[in-house]
Amino acid sequence: MRLVPLEIGKLNSARSIIDGGEGMLPFPIPSWLIEHEHGLVLFDTGLHVDLQSSTDRIGPSATFFDPDFSPGEELTARLEQRGIRTTDITHMVFSHLHFDHAGGTVEIPDARIVLQGAEWDAAHESKYIERNIYNPDDFDHGHDVETIDGEHDLFGDGLVTCIPTPGHTPGHQSLRLELESGPVVLTGDCVYTEAMMDDMAVPKFGHDTDLQVASMRELARLRDEDGCRLLFGHDEDQFRSLPTEGLV
């Protein structure tokens, strides 16, 4: 099994909503490709290709998030660079359904979506859609959707396991992979960066910050007790350090 980091553009995010500081922070927007003997899996799909030319689709969020996203960085192109067709992808597992994690879904026509049922339900609630927290146009395109509740072994072999880490959103989840080199957990937005993990600090705009901290503590336990390597949701230094050919 192989884990390959794909960068689907970047966001320059206002520090005021991340850590209370001033100015902007650059964040890589990852989609993670998992090459498993029983299928090709994406964990999150990154930005929608429309954001290469306009921020209209994210509305007021453009006040806080400025896309840096060029042609050739979209999900289809990143897969093609590895000789993979979009129709080859069998599963899309989502940490959550915010625009920078689910925007590329429309590019993957045949895969099954796997996510926590609480996330799917929340993403269709009118109160969240009206507040621009979710946009169903990012993720609701008639795919086969498998909603899960709690931990879920994707292929039944213990190698790819969804782990609920709610807080950032109602149904946020992380993904544990049993690589030959050791266990890895993709934290998603439960933990943006290593510094955020060290400080047990979370942005104030999450759904339930206390619950998010509890989820972070569970990830810390997996790191400390199970020896899991944590790969954070938007840590630029860590992301740049990963081998482009992936981890095995």
The distance from CA 162 to its chain's CA centroid, rounded to whole angstroms, is 12
Average pLDDT of the chain to the nearest whole number: 96
- Render 77-111 in DSSP notation, one character per residue: HHHHTTT--GGG--EEE-S--SHHHHGGGGG--SP
Q: What is the pLDDT of residues 175-202, one digit of tens each?
A: 999 999 999 999 999 999 999 999 998 9
Contacts of 166 (CB under 8 A, 6+ apart): 116, 118, 172, 173, 207, 208, 211, 212, 215
Higher-confidence residue of 80 and 204: namely 80
pLDDT above 90 (res 15): no
SS3 34: strand
SS3 123: coil
pLDDT of residue 58: 97
Choose the weakest-confidence range: 11-20, 56-65, 221-230: 11-20
Q: What is the pLDDT of residues 17-64, one digit of tens each?
A: 887 778 888 999 999 999 999 999 999 999 999 999 999 999 999 999
In the CATH hierarchy, which fold is given to the domain comprising 2-241? Metallo-beta-lactamase; Chain A (3.60.15)
Region of 215 (left: φ > 0; alpha: ψ -120 to 50; beta: rest) is: alpha
pLDDT of residue 18: 82
SS3 29: strand
pLDDT of residue 118: 98
The arithmetic mean of pLDDT across residues 5-28, rounded, is 89
Higher-confidence residue of 153 and 63: namely 153
pLDDT of residue 19: 76
Task: Name the one residue in this structure whose structure tokens are 């510094």.
Answer: 195
The tokens for 129 are 């859609």
Beta pairing partners, 2: 35
Nearest to 117 by CA among 48, 169, 177, 41: 169
Q: Which pTM does this prediction carry? A: 0.97
Give the whole-angstrom CA distance, residue 61 versus residue 132.
Answer: 8
Q: What is the pLDDT of residues 87-139, one digit of tens each?
A: 999 999 999 999 999 999 999 999 999 999 999 999 999 999 999 999 999 99
pLDDT of residue 216: 98
Give the whole-angstrom CA distance, residue 196 versus residue 210.
Answer: 14
Choose the weakest-confidence range: 74-83, 98-107, 198-207: 198-207
pLDDT of residue 24: 85
Contacts of 147 (CB under 8 A, 6+ apart): 115, 116, 117, 120
pLDDT of residue 25: 87
Give the whole-angstrom CA distance, residue 41 versus residue 155.
Answer: 11
pLDDT of residue 57: 96
pLDDT of residue 5: 98
How are beta strands 2-14 and 39-43 bridged, if at all? unpaired
